[in-house]
Chain A
Amino acid sequence: MVNANMDTAPIISVNDTWMSFPGKTASQPVHVLERVSCEVQAGEFVCIVGPSGCGKSTLLNIIGGFLHETRGEVTVEGARVTGPDPGRIFVFQENGVFPWLTVEQNIGFGLLSRPAAERFERVNHYIAMVGLTGFEKSYPRELSGGMRQRVEIARALAADARVLYMDEPFGALDFLTRLKMRADLIRIWQAEKKTILFVTHDIEEAVQLADRVLVMTKRPATVAEEVAVNLPRPRDLDSPSYLATRDRIFTIMGMDAHGGGAGA
């Protein structure tokens, strides 16, 4: 059971993991994940894509320690995952920024045990990094959706998380904001050298962001294929190699990029 993290020592290792939820009747549980195995290396940016409702979010929640797998083993940073960990911060689609705290209080949330001077310095550093200078004293309700998502990312970075788990973090944003957020996330990832595991249903988003894309099947989901994205950054979204990678993932998911195919 432990052979996976012997040779290359990946930072995240999911080993033959299964997940079932209780169904309408006790005798018929809902199988969400079956035989999922994958690995993420330290510093890697990995995207998980799959059809809506396939269980990719469930997988991320298991890796993040918020759900417990039915069978199998998830190891992160050399230890079996038993719960959430302050070194590995989850960025939620529905935005987990605390509405009763200001931007700077939110970003400093994970730093209360640090000396005030260090806290102040780190908070300001990350406020600047996510482009929220001038909004330190604002409350989340005064910000747009994209700005709130930046606060949440900055909160994770300020707490010195080594791993970011991002669950469709840009799903609720409009198209232009999403593009901008992707570019900013890549910039931050390159500057901070974090490991990022990013769930999305948006294939284009995955190819724009990831070093490697894990494509999942329909439910009960497993990893259908891993696609390495060997494209230089910043990525040219018109280049043939970008389009080829994108179309390959479409094909794996049973669609073609120019309309239709099996299952939406």
Chain B
Amino acid sequence: MSESPPPTLVRRGSFAAAAFVLPGIVGLVFLAGWHLAVKVSGSDIFPTPGQVWDGLGELARQGLLFKYIVASLFRVSWGFGLAVLAGVPLGLVLGWFKPAFLALNPFIQILRPISPIAWIPVAILWFGVEDTAPVFLIFLASVFPITVSAMAAVQNMQQVYLRAAQNFGLSGIPLFRRVILPAALPQIITGVRIALGVAWLVVVAAEMIAVNSGLGYLIIDARNAGKRYDLVVAGMVMIGLIGLLLDLLVRRLEKFDEVRWGYGQR
């Protein structure tokens, strides 16, 4: 083991520039290929990138773009937020109390592989076509990755932290708050990140069936109401961009000093 503090990566600057230039080039090649493919095939239904751009402009002018984005984000916020509130404490408890783990884990492992899409008919039966149905589906989709990651984080926690804490006389709630939770937090954030990705996938699927607003609804409505594939693809583009934005947002959590230790050297 070396005595000097860990070195930081040099040449950051050149990597940073490449991180924008290289994907930029790939993006341009992709758009050009797309445009050419539409022109060569002579399709009058599938849009060119330019037509998608115009479609986005049309949606923005009608105020629909903003409205649908807000509607989708609203549902994700509720479903995902409730999943964090339920999943983190549940996972911590399951990871800590062996009997709770033994009792509940098989049940969780059976529920977990059921796709949220399979719950759609049940959700409609229970909650109708209101906002509650998609919120419920998003909750279901994101609560499992969060619970399982919190559970595993506690189970795999380094014993030395626990012993040190017990040595200082901690037990019960203070032990949870001051040691178990912070020790588990990096892995919990990784679970939260995965869950948010899944939640965003599910909101689109849920909106295609259960409601009449949101980006998922936009896609299915544009298809049904007149084969407006420019709007379909415009919706897809927005979903992709917002998904990226959400992921970048959660990634920022990993930069906090309280959790950075958990992600190794980067």
Contacts and interface: CB of A to CB of B under 8 A. Distances in A.
B160 A89 contact: no
B166 interface: yes
B70 interface: no
Contact of B5 (A66, A144, A172): A144
Contacts of B6: 141-142
A110 interface: yes
Interface string B243-266: 000000000000001111110000
B60 interface: no
Given A86-B169, A173-B1, A92 B185 contact: no
Interface in A37-94: 64, 66, 83-86, 88-90, 92, 94
Contact of B185 (A83, A96, A100, A177): A100
A84 B2 CA distance: 32
Nearest to B260: A141
A173 to B, nearest CB: 7
B161 interface: yes
Given A96-B161, A100-B259, A100-B261, A84 B3 contact: no
Contact of B163 (A88, A90, A102, A174): A90
A250 interface: no
A177 B3 contact: yes
B14 interface: no
Interface residues of A, number: 34
- Name, among B5, B163, B164, the residue most crowded by chain A CB atoms within 10 Å (CB to CB): B164
Interface string A223-256: 0000000000000000000000000000000000
A254 to B, nearest CB: 30
A237 B65 CA distance: 79
A172 B1 CA distance: 7
A92 B163 contact: yes
B56 interface: no
A189 interface: no
Contacts of B179: 98
B3 A110 contact: no
A99 B220 CA distance: 49
Contact of A100 (B164, B169, B258): B258
Interface in B1-47: 1-6
B202 interface: no
B164 A92 contact: yes
Nearest to B171: A83
Contacts of A86: 167-169
B183 A100 contact: yes
A84 B257 contact: no
Contacts of B257: 100, 102, 139
Contacts of B158: 94
Contacts of A140: 261
B261 to A, nearest CB: 4
A65 to B, nearest CB: 8
Contact of B3 (A66, A98, A146): A146
B163 A145 contact: no
B262 to A, nearest CB: 8
A70 B114 CA distance: 48
Nearest to B257: A139
Interface in B150-182: 158, 160-161, 163-164, 166-169, 179, 182
A143 interface: yes
A109 B3 contact: no
Contact of B261 (A88, A139, A144): A139
Contact of A144 (B3, B161, B185): B3
Given A92-B164, A100-B259, A142-B5, 8 more contacts: A85-B169, A86-B167, A86-B168, A98-B164, A110-B168, A140-B261, A141-B261, A176-B3
Q: Which 10 A-B pairs have the closest CB atoms?
A: A99-B261, A96-B164, A100-B182, A86-B169, A84-B167, A96-B160, A110-B168, A100-B258, A145-B1, A144-B3
27 contacts: A84-B167, A84-B169, A86-B168, A86-B169, A94-B158, A94-B160, A96-B163, A98-B161, A98-B164, A98-B183, A99-B262, A100-B182, A100-B257, A100-B259, A102-B257, A110-B169, A140-B261, A141-B6, A141-B260, A141-B261, A142-B6, A144-B2, A144-B3, A144-B5, A173-B1, A174-B3, A176-B3
Interface of B: 1-6, 158, 160-161, 163-164, 166-169, 179, 182-183, 185, 257-262
Interface of A: 64, 66, 83-86, 88-90, 92, 94-96, 98-102, 109-110, 139-146, 159, 172-174, 176-177
